[in-house]
């Protein structure tokens, strides 16, 4: 990691008072957590910040929705699809990155800095255009607490959060007769894919960009001076579960990383790929240094979608790498 990399890393450590308040919530065993409002719209800033609970009837009244039950509790999974046929050998499913920040112990959402104005109709339009562009069915998965789905992004690191996405993919595959998935993600969306790999046998491709697959190590680098390990009970870290991934000769995993990324640390992504490879999995790190978009060189979302689409079409590793390297933002 270069000195320049350290200068460009954003100051994410909470200020003393805020951190003390977050820690107090934890010590009070969640007493500071508030009940999410009913049927709030998580497309909006207010809905995203608060999170939402939904009824099954309300969920089923929405377009592009599916009701799932995980650990005895119901959730509304929203998804926006394009290019699906009556039968689908494979579909690309994409997980966006985080839309805001949370305090890592209290799991409280404290900003919506990356939330943009959109809607179910706009996300559907993006999915249709992307499917047409790449010639493969394409699905945008709304992570819990975002883009119209129930739940809270404050729980984004929890196992249950990923279990909801797992149940959603299974239900969507059943509804649309999808035999296999090629998954793509940006940043925090990669946590979902990392969690899914030990659980599913229908993942043919997993392409994760600027991804948080070694969360504890990223937190240790970002929250210097704090006891990050105390947050482990609330975090399902993909790196810790690599040994649970079953061998599958039909599955390929790619991580796309920029060494100058000021949000996610390059070496944590490399260590994840190295651990996969050491366990005999078909795993590849593609160095896209100076290719990341935005102020922090963090954005590789479009390259991940391209890579997953190329993988879904059966392109070779070399062809996939060449395609994402040649991609112009």
Q: Which residues contact 317 (CB under 8 A, 6 or more apart)?
A: 252, 284
Question: 171-191 burial, b for 16+ CB within 10 Å, e for fewer?
Answer: ebbeebebebbbbbbbbbbbb
Residue with structure tokens 């990050």? 228
Strands 65-70 vs 73-82: parallel, antiparallel or unpaired? antiparallel
Residue 242: CA count within 13 A, CB half-sphere = 19
Q: pTM of the entire structure?
A: 0.88
Write down all domains in the chain, each with its CATH number in brackets.
Answer: 36-326 (3.40.50.1820)
Q: Per-residue confidence of the chain (329 residues) as pLDDT tens digits?
A: 333 333 233 333 343 443 434 433 443 334 344 578 999 999 999 999 999 999 999 999 999 999 999 999 999 999 999 999 999 999 999 999 998 888 766 778 888 888 889 999 999 999 999 999 999 999 999 999 999 999 999 999 999 999 999 999 999 999 999 999 999 999 999 999 999 999 999 999 999 999 989 988 888 887 788 888 888 888 999 999 999 999 999 999 999 999 999 888 899 999 999 999 999 999 999 999 999 999 889 999 999 999 999 999 999 999 999 999 999 87
How many residues are listed for the chain in this entry? Answer: 329
Q: What is the biggest distance separating any 2 CA atoms in the chain, rounded to whole angstroms?
A: 55
134's tokens: 């790449």
């Amino acid at each position: 990691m270069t000195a320049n990399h350290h200068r460009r890393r954003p100051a994410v450590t909470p200020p003393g008072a805020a951190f003390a308040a977050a820690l107090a919530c934890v010590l009070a065993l969640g007493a500071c957590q508030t009940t999410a409002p009913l049927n709030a719209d998580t497309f909006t800033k207010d809905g995203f910040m608060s999170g939402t609970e939904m009824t099954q009837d309300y969920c089923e009244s929405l377009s592009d929705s599916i009701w799932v039950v995980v650990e005895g509790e119901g959730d509304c999974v929203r998804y926006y699809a394009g290019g699906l046929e009556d039968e689908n050998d494979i579909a690309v499913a994409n997980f966006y990155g985080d839309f805001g920040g949370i305090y890592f112990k209290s799991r409280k959402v404290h900003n919506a800095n990356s939330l943009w104005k959109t809607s179910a109709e706009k996300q559907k339009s993006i999915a249709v255009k992307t499917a047409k562009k790449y010639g493969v069915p394409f699905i945008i998965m709304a992570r819990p607490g975002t883009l119209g789905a129930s739940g809270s992004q404050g729980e984004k690191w929890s196992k249950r959060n990923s279990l909801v996405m797992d149940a959603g993919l299974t239900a969507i595959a059943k509804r649309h007769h999808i035999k296999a998935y090629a998954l793509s993600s940006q940043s925090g969306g990669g946590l979902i894919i990392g969690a899914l790999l030990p659980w599913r046998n229908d993942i043919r491709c997993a392409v994760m960009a600027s991804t948080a697959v070694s969360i504890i190590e990223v937190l240790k680098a970002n929250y210097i001076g704090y006891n990050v390990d105390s947050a482990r009970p609330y975090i399902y870290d993909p790196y810790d579960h690599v040994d649970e991934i079953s061998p599958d000769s039909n599955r390929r995993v790619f991580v796309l990383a920029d060494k100058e990324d000021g949000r996610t640390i390059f070496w944590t992504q490399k260590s994840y790929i190295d651990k996969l490879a050491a366990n005999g999995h078909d795993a590849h790190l593609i160095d896209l240094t100076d290719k990341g978009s935005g102020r922090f060189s963090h954005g590789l979302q479009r390259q991940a979608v391209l890579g997953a689409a190329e993988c879904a079409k059966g392109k070779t590793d070399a062809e996939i790498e060449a395609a994402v390297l040649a991609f112009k933002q």
